Amino acid sequence: MAALTESTYFVLAALAREPMHGYGIAKLAGDLSDGRVKLTAGTLYGVLARLVERGQIVEDRVEVVSGRARRYYRLTPSGRELLTDETERLRATAKTVRERLNAEPERS
Amino acid sequence: MPSPSEASSAAPAPLLLRLALRAYPPVDRRGYGDELVEAALELADGRSGYVREAGGLLQGGIEARLARLRLGLGAVDLLAALRRLTLPLTALVTMIWSAAAAARINGATIDWADRGPTAGSVVLLTLLALLILGVARAQRGIATFAATALFLQILASALWYTARGGTVTASPSVHLNIGWWWFGPNVTWSLLPLVLLLVLACWRMRPAAPRLPDVPRPLTEQGAVRLLIIVLPAVLFGVLLHYAPQYVVQGRETTQLPGLLVLIAVVATLWVARAVPGGRERAATAAALVGMGASPSIAYGAARLVLSPLGSFVENRDLVVALNLLMAVLLMVVAAAIFLAVLAAVGLRVIDRRGGSPLAVGHAIPLGPDHTASPD
């Protein structure tokens, strides 16, 4: 499977612990990525639509707060597996690069 | 805090977001439009944030529209629609050459008037006869062979066209003079996409069902009826043009005939597409395919129509030709996009009838009192 985009990865990561609504996901994705991922509502809902379509997240519930409906999303087992696999892939890649950085330079 | 719709009348920034939301397909706006604007309002930090959010909504809307287009096109049953086109396209191709024959017999076209049958015309007539035979008898192999050979011959004519028609030409230079307002491109180029469709249609044609004793064949599967459907319009059209030579004039590079015929198909496309909920997806799809095949004809004709007043002001003929070509390409893209959208709309209606798509966020849980819960 192709690597996830950074936005998709952090959206999945935001949902790893508990169901969240759109604004919460965008804020947490920004925090988790040290501000690198700045999702607009348009991009966020594009990512959510794709993840729903692929069955990696589902809609959990709708809550009405101050007269406004908030839709919550949660990870499915398939989404959790995807997130785990991607995290493992990133970890392995980082390890390889770190080893290369720490190695003595080859002398010809 | 006011709802987005209330706020939109009060502040320009939410109005900007509401406007940007229009980029989304209506079904998405109905499904989760309010939620999107709410999230955008929360995520926007100051006026520059609103602009950024509006940009995000625009981008998201375009992506959502493209996703729906892909989804719709994926659900269209193109093969079934192609099968439906075998008979009408064969009839159309036969009509075009019957008109050419009429023009030649009554001397309206000089391209062929002073020469006997060429090798090209003999090959053409043989292929046409084979095509009619194959389609009428539902013999896929013969029909596909003849349609493919015909396509190649037309391609050759289009590539090596001469004013005299060429020795291997399959391009009768017929010009229908039905009014100052109608123009069409070279017959070969107009026909190419339609004959390509015919090749595909023949290739996907269902072979004739075996005859069973005491079981009558449906009318449209009877060879004689199919032959009549193909030949009758061509004969009528040929006779009409033979006795009305004022409508046929010598055309060196242009002809209106395919354009006129496919215009009928285009009108039918739009009409049928509107009536799709009745379950006529295949007919709508077939008509949209023909419309797409006809796009070059329509675009070229429309471009000439639009630019014809320029001819009296601009002396540089090369410039007029270049402008004509540019506008034709633009219009062709527009026409093709319209028919693609029709196809996607048909596909989406098929999906809706099967129970909807999970694509749009918000489709799974409709908003309403039964689905809401109070926060803890």
Distance CA A36, CA A53 (A): 26
CB contact under 8 A, A71 and B63: no
pTM: 0.64
- Tell me the per-residue pLDDT of B28-54, one tens digit each, with 9 for 90 and over: 888 888 888 888 888 887 566 888 999
> Nearest Cα to B47, choosing from B95, B1, B15?
B15
Q: Which pLDDT value is given to residue B345?
A: 81
In chain A, the residue whose alpha carbon lies closest to the alpha carbon of B41 is A41
Instruction: Give B81 or B129, the one with higher predicted confidence.
Output: B129
Backbone angles phi, psi at B174, to 5 degrees: -105, 140
DSSP B19-33: HHHTTS-HHHHHHHH
Q: Which pLDDT value is given to residue B190?
A: 66
Distance CA B12, CA B8 (A): 7
Backbone angles phi, psi at A69, to 5 degrees: -80, 135
Would you call A18 an interface residue with chain B, using a CB distance cutoff of 8 Å? Answer: no
User: Is the complex ipTM more than 0.95?
Assistant: no
* pLDDT above 90 (res A93): yes
Cβ contacts below 8 Å, chain A against chain B, sum to 104
- Report the percentage of chain B scoring pLDDT > 90: 12
User: For chain A, how many residues are written?
Assistant: 108
Shortest CB distance from B364 goes to which of A23, A43, A59?
A59
> Nearest Cα to A70, choosing from B230, B239, B367?
B367
Distance from CA of A79 to the nearest CA of B (A): 16
Shortest CB distance from B361 goes to which of A39, A52, A63?
A52
- Tell me the per-residue pLDDT of B309-367, one tens digit each, with 9 for 90 and over: 776 777 777 787 788 778 878 888 887 888 888 888 888 877 777 655 544 555 444 33
CB contact under 8 A, B60 and A68: no
- Tell me the per-residue pLDDT of B215-272, one tens digit each, with 9 for 90 and over: 777 777 788 888 998 999 889 888 887 777 666 555 443 444 555 556 666 666 666 5
* pLDDT above 50 (res A77): yes
Would you call B7 an interface residue with chain A, using a CB distance cutoff of 8 Å? Answer: no
CB contact under 8 A, A65 and B42: no
Q: Which pLDDT value is given to residue B337?
A: 83
- Across residues A45-68, what is the average pLDDT? 87
- Across residues B161-167, what is the average pLDDT? 43
* pLDDT above 90 (res B85): no
